[in-house]
Amino acid sequence: MVTLKEIGDAAGVSPSTVSAVIHNKSHCYVSELKRKLVLSTADRLGYLPNMNSRALKGLPTRTIGIISGIFSVPIHSELISHIVEFLNLRGYHVMLGDSKGEHAKENSLIKEFISRGIDGIIINSTRKTDDIHAVIPGYDTSIVNTSNNPKSMDDRWNLSVNLPKGEYLAVEHLIKRHKRRKIVFYTTGLEANILKFAGYRQALKDNNIDFSNDLCMNISTQKDKFKYVRHSILKLKPDAVVTTNDMLALQLIRVLSDMKIKVPDDIAVIGYDGLNICNVSSPSLSTVRQPMETLAGKTVDILINKIENKIEPGKPSLVEPKLVRRESCGCKSTNADIFFKV
């Protein structure tokens, strides 16, 4: 391991000067030329800072821990990618932990990250921030939650997408633009998507359409999900379906195709999330896009403001979703919408 003394000997300065330059200390009075020499020498010799040592001294490690169900939900992966990018631009390193959405794993990762001296945590948890802090009594670690949990809507450390608004936009569009009246709400689990369900019901109410429990297709409790979906479509005969995620919508389009039901002529379909794959499905999938880049930017801003400037948010933050109209609802895709980043 390269030491500060070795860097100082090579650069012709004292170890204390090397320390002041590398750690960007306020009492470092060396010239800009000397500062660049020290940094270039440290880089040439392969110096790596000992973060555990900095943590033991109570110094910032410029490291943020991110805890989420990383691989279970595609939209979470997109959010994390943007968060990592923004943190890197601000000069922070990242430690990732896959909680799989389980509280026990969250607790374990929180304690692990704290023990490694992280400066803050970004977490996607169904718990409120006070409950998360209770896992680490005695530690005032900055924590921001990106959960869409209804119980966290009054939590000022919680940032989320306005999920009811997104589903409301989808249902209202189907009613007003495409004259659909029998609209099914299709979900992988009602409890986890209760906010979207609320938006669905409000849109029906505001457009004078009676709500019926029969029009809620919930596959979470079904053993043979494929058989259940086919049976429900034949029984209900809907003219439109809104889903709670894009993958569910794409799977539904495939099932309807196998049943010789045309999308959108017979049944219009709208997804939720705004994944890139929506552009290249056939028909292209209309969806509610969750603005993950905007959410990531706000999340990082709030966390870094707390860490560096001791500024706390005054209230919870909501990010507004956007309806993206494509072929599956009956609209037409633009040529520009075909291309996307990979």
Confidence of residue 120 (pLDDT cuts 50, 70, 90): very high
Q: Is the pLDDT of residue 172 over 80?
A: yes
Q: What is the mean pLDDT of residues 193-205?
A: 97
Q: Is the pLDDT of residue 341 over 80?
A: no
Q: How far is CA 225 from CA 138, 207, 218, in A?
A: 47, 31, 9
Q: From 3.50.50.60, 3.40.50.2300, 3.40.50.150, 3.20.20.220, which CATH number describes the 163-290+324-337 domain?
A: 3.40.50.2300
Beta bridge partners of 176: none
Pairing of strands 322-324, 317-319: unpaired
The helix/strand/coil state of 117 is coil
Percent of the residues in the chain that have a pLDDT greater than 70, as a whole number: 92
25/31 Cα distance (integer angstroms): 14
Does domain 63-160+292-319 fall under CATH 3.40.50.360? My reply is no
Average pLDDT score over the chain: 89
Residue corresponding to tokens 């704290």: 114
Write the CB contacts of 25 (distance below 8 Å, at least 6 apart in sequence): 19
168/16 Cα distance (integer angstroms): 61
Confidence of residue 49 (pLDDT cuts 50, 70, 90): low
Q: Is the pLDDT of residue 335 over 60?
A: no
Per-residue pLDDT reduced to its tens digit, 305-326: 999 999 999 888 899 999 999 9
Per-residue pLDDT reduced to its tens digit, 86-99: 999 999 999 999 99
pLDDT of the residue at 97? 94
Q: Is the pLDDT of residue 30 over 90?
A: no
Q: What is the mean pLDDT of residues 292-301?
A: 96
Q: What is the mean pLDDT of residues 40-68?
A: 74
Say if pTM beats, i.e. exceeds, 0.85: no
211/13 Cα distance (integer angstroms): 76
Per-residue pLDDT reduced to its tens digit, 237-292: 999 999 999 999 999 999 999 999 999 999 999 999 999 899 888 999 999 999 99
